[in-house]
Structure formats: C-alpha cells, structure tokens
Structure 1
Amino acid sequence: MRHSTTAAKVLALSTAALLGCTGLASASPAASLGGWHRTGKTGVANAVSGEGITTLRRPGQAPETVYRNGTTIPQPLKDEGWGHVGDPDSQRGYVFDVYQNTVANPPVNKMYLVTAPSGETTEFVHPLQADEPPVNANAYAAVSPDGQWLVSGALGDATEMYVSPTPFLNPRAPRTAGDLPLAARIHLDHTIRSAQGCDFVSPTRLLCATSDSNNDLYPTSYQLLQVDLPRPLAGRDTRAHVKELGQLPLVSTCAGAFTPEGVDYDAPTGTLRVEVVPPSPCNTVTDVYSFQRG
C-alpha cells in the first residue's frame, strides 16, 4: 500500500497530445447501436492505449483524454505485483484506475489507484471475497454520476458487478491508503462475458463493451451492452436488467480476433467512446469510435 506522487507522473502520459490521430470518419454513414449513432473514429498509438479510456476534467483546465496500456504501468506498481491495468474512470478531477494482482496465483486481491487533481496517488487494496472471480479481477471501474459509488467487475462469465464507496468522494470510503470495502453487489438478470469496459451514461444506466467472440449469450458477438438499474445506487444490493444494443464496429484490413476494451462517457458533451483493438498485425493502433444519442 503506497501513497505517492511518482506513479502519477508516469500515468499521466496518456493525454491526446501524445497520440497520433486519423481524424473523424465523417464521410461514411453513422452506424447505430441502440439509439447511439457513430459520429467519428480516431486511431491511437497502442503504446499508450488499448486497455482503457476516460475523460479527465480538472477545475479550470481543458479536458484530457486519458488512455491506459499495460506497458505504461509504472515500475513501482509492477514491483508490488500489479501487472494488469483495466479501464479507468474519472470524476471531479480524480482518476480511478483498476489493477489486477498478477503475481499471486490465483490472485487474492485487487487494487484501485486514485490520482487526485493535484497528481498525488493513493492505493486502495480490496481483498477478494471467497466468491469473487480471480481472473482479471479488475477489468474496469465506473464511478456513479453522483461520485458516491465505484463499480467494478471481472472478465469471464459474470452475473454480478461489485460496488464500493468511492475513495475521497464518499464519506463511507477511506481517505488514506488501505483496504477498500465492498458495499454492495449488482445482480445481473443476464450473464455477461468478458466485459472489458463500462461507464455510467445516467444515474441508472451503464454501457459495457465486451470482447466476447461468441454469440451463445446474445444474438451477436463483441456486444455493446446496456445495464439498467431500478434506481440510483445507494450502497445496497440491487438487481439490474441487461440488454444488448448490438455489435461494436469491427473494421480492419487484418483478419482475426478483435478486442473491444475501454468505454468512456463524457456527460458535458454527451459523447460515448469505445476502444476496439484490431487483429494483429494491425493492433499497433487502437480504434476509438465516438457516438452520440439520437
């Protein structure tokens, strides 16, 4: 458990200024996914992208697009055993990263790295419960729009999401490095497989991208899923309805398996973005697709 500023300096190398872009795909018709219409496509160097995406808004500063990739994990975190980083989220100038323990087999814990607006980082480690799946135990983090609850989940077949109080934003959460408790679970009415990234688009709705290459759970593979809650999270167990919105864009000159990854919803602009890593050898660039409602 660490409390430092060193990791923040390395983790910050993911803004749009560092990336090569291909621009908007405005010449082609916009595809629709359950009311979300495609408005653009950007190519981002896979040296810094391909594991997650979030929009960081610090007070008084221009918004930044933050990307994550396994090669950008700071060495001090690797030395502690945190070898996999998932899809992050940001709220009120804070960035919430999720890490998997890749040293212990099977993993016994997962870690949330919180970067404050000042750049200072704090680690919150959650010991896995007996029934929490260890495989990629932290695939994504999604913070509720009110900032109070941090939702995460694992890869593989999942019927639950896990809810913790959001560090620094919820008074129920610890404010110093230490264990982060589990406050509640979201029980899904339909299994989801390999959800790589999720984000809230309203207080009662999340959108998730999967790398599920099969179509036994839903009519299509590589789904964009909608998870609807009956009411905003309040730190108690709840149920949620899962609906498939359609297949994510799969466009490449290379043949093979695609890997959808991070999901980001920027409320001020209403922009939804989803990362899709194309097959090898085209996977040197991550495709980031943009969508708007209506």
Structure 2
Amino acid sequence: MPPRTLRHRCHLALTGLVALATAAVLSAAPPAAAADTWTEAGSDRADPLTESQGLASVEIPAGSANRYTGIGTIPLGLSTRGWNHVGDPDASYDGHYIEPYQRDSGTTKMFRAQAPGGGWSEYVHTLSSGEALNNSWVAVSPDGQWMVAGEWGTMSRLLVFPTPGVNPATSPSANLPQASTVRLDHAVRDVQGCDFVDATRLLCSSDDPAGTLFGITKPLLQVDLSAPPNGASDVSGHVTALRQLPLRSSCSGTFEAEGVDYDRRTAVLRVIVVSPGFCVLTDSKTYRFTRG
C-alpha cells in the first residue's frame, strides 16, 4: 500500500475518533431547557429556633406535616457529641426523611435518617480529599436511590451519595461513600438548599452575599442535569439564576437565604429567608412561590 494512502486512512480514522469524542462530550451536556418563572404567592413567619435552617414536605404517611430544622430541633444527644449544626433536610417519595449534620472540626459529616415507621439511624461519611467539612443540605432524587448534597463557599460541583436507609448499599455501620459528582457549568456560592422538581431539574437557594456570579445577591437557582444521578458516573449541570429571593424586613442589614422545598403534590416552592438583626425574631419568612 502506498505510504500516501496509509496516511490518508490514518487521517480518516483519527478524524472519526475525534468526531466520536466530540459527540460524547456534547451528549454529556444538559439539554437546552427553558428557565422556569417563579412568582411569589404568599409567606408565613419562620420561627428562628425551629424553622430557620430548612424544610421538607413529607408525602408518606398521608397527611404528614411539613418538617423544619433549626438550632432548636437538634436533639441534645447529637449536640453533646459535637453535631451542632443541622442543614436543609429532604424526604424521599416513600417517606424516608433525612437531615444533614456537621461538626465544627474533624473529618466526617453525618446524615440522620428516619424511616417511615419512625425509627432513626445515623449514617456517617468520611470526607474525601478536598471535600469541605460543612453539610448544608440534601436533596433526594425522585427514584429515591440517590441523594445530592452540597458544600459551602464557591463551588463548581455537587456531591452524590446513595440515599441512607433507602439505597440497599447503605448501612449505619459502614462509611457512607460519595458515589459520583454533578459537574456544574457555572460556579455557585453558599448554596443553602436544593430540591428536585423532576428527575433532572433542581431548584436551589443561594445565600451569595456578593452578587458577582449572576449579577444579583441571594438568587434562586435552577440546575438542569444531563441525566438523572445514578451513582455510577458523573453528570453535568447547567446553572441558571431565576430571580432574587425576597429581602423584606422592618430591620436593615444582612438577610440569610436558607433551605428550599418543592412539594410535587401542590407544585408549590417554599424558601426560608431569615431577617437581619433583631428582626430575625419577628419577621423572618417562609416564602411560597408558584410556577407561571
């Protein structure tokens, strides 16, 4: 075979490999999706002790009350062992309820899970290399098998774990491993809560005080995933800032955006915003939003 023909065939083969690789990368990108519009539809006072960190709607058992977290909801037995901060919780669609906990120091974070029957179990995760200590929130995927969690600060990823007590690979007696990662196409800052709207869309509340990432402070974010998280491989996430969360109070100062919940039964989104100064006691709010 003449050398020129061999070079030509090699060139064609290389071109084909590049095309396949490019297609694979493009297929990993989240599909184009229109950003939702969320309109404020009312609010309720958020108690500073028991409703200041997060919230979750629980579907099973039927008629279950909404759940909230705050400094006043941490059991004494946990706080005496150093678990002194609870974040934004979530519940699986079959009624398992999960709270994220952190300590001030160390190499672990903890997820406290309550089964539909009422029993509690603790699942401890040993930090991976470079993983932040804080444990701000959890969001359980609609299939119940996977749980997304986040770190404080400016981040370009979300962490995926098997859902404690639901995924058969979990056990309170074993380390809860990180299974995979959501790779974000835009950095986010100080995310305080996320919740699944469907299998590939998350809504997140950001306590970003600077506003340099999206042009607004305290944004409500939408994250569209390239595929439902499955723990076997990383997925990518396209981030969109939807709007600024309400910042209204009788006091002036710094507000704090907290947890978020999407109730699929009513299609209502709720977000906690804590008021500044003394007004944390009087006019902190859980805001309700509807899509439209």
Q: Sort the TM-score into its range (normalised by shorter chain).
A: 0.7 to 0.9
Match of 1:78 in 2: 79
Q: Whole-Å Cα distance in 2 between the matches of residues 74 and 207 of structure 1?
A: 29
Aligned mate of 1:42, from 36, 41, 44? 44
Q: Secondary structure at the match of 1:262?
A: strand
Structure 1 residue runs of 4 or more that deviate by more than 6 Å after TM superposition: none
The answer on whether the counterparts of 1:50 and 1:68 sit within 8 Å (CA) in structure 2 is yes
Q: Which residues of structure 2 form unaligned runs of 5+?
A: 1-34
Q: Do the aligned partners of 1:123 and 1:178 also contact (CA within 8 Å) in 2?
A: no
Aligned partner letter, 2:206: T
- Structure 1 residue identity aligned to 2:40: R
**Correspondence list, 1:94-243, <5 A:** 94-102=96-104, 104=105, 107-134=106-133, 137-174=134-171, 176-235=172-231, 236-243=233-240
2:173 & 2:76 partners in 1: Cα distance? 19
Matched residue pairs, number? Answer: 255
Q: Tell me the SS of whatever aligns to 1:215.
A: coil
What is the alpha-carbon distance in structure 1 between the residues aligned to residue 174 and residue 161 of structure 2? 13
The C-alpha deviation readout for 1:225-282, integer Å capped at 9, x for no partner, is 1111011111121111111001101111110000010100111111110000011111
**Cα distance in structure 2, aligned partners of 1:270 and 1:148:** 22
Unaligned stretches of 5+ residues in structure 1? 1-32
Q: What's the secondary structure of 1:77's corresponding residue?
A: helix
Distance in 2, matches of 1:119 and 1:153, equals: 26
Aligned partners of 1:253, 1:87: CA distance in 2, in Å? 26
The residue type paired with residue 130 of structure 2 is D
Aligned CA RMSD, in angstroms, stands at: 1.3
**Residues 46 and 286 in structure 2, CA contact (< 8 A), matched pair in contact too:** yes
Match of 1:57 in 2: 59
Query: Aligned partners of 1:232 and 1:122: how far apart in 2?
Result: 26
- Matched position secondary structure for 1:56: coil
Q: What corresponds to 2:70 in structure 1?
A: 69
The residue that corresponds to 2:279 in the other structure is 282
Tell me what 1:9 maps to.
none
TM-score (norm 2): 0.84
Identity of matched residues, %: 42
Q: CA deviation at 1:34?
A: 4.3
Matches of 1:289 and 1:89, distance apart in 2: 17
User: Are the aligned partners of 1:101 and 1:108 in contact in 2 as well (CA < 8 Å)?
Assistant: no
Is the Cα contact below 8 Å between 1:53 and 1:65 reproduced in 2? yes
CA distance in 2, matches of 1:215, 1:262: 19
Q: Distance in 1 between matches of 2:170 and 2:199?
A: 20
Please say if 1:247 is aligned against 2:249.
Answer: no
Maintained 8 Å contact 2:111/2:164? no
Question: Counterpart of 1:282 in 2: which secondary structure?
Answer: helix
> Structure 1-normalised TM-score?
0.84
Q: CA deviation at 1:220?
A: 0.5
> How far apart, CA to CA, are the structure 1 residues paired with 2:108 and 2:285?
31
Distance across 2 between alignment mates of 1:39 and 1:232: 29
Q: How far off is 1:58 after superposition? A: 2.3
CA distance in 1, matches of 2:113, 2:271: 22
Larger helix share, 1 or 2? 2
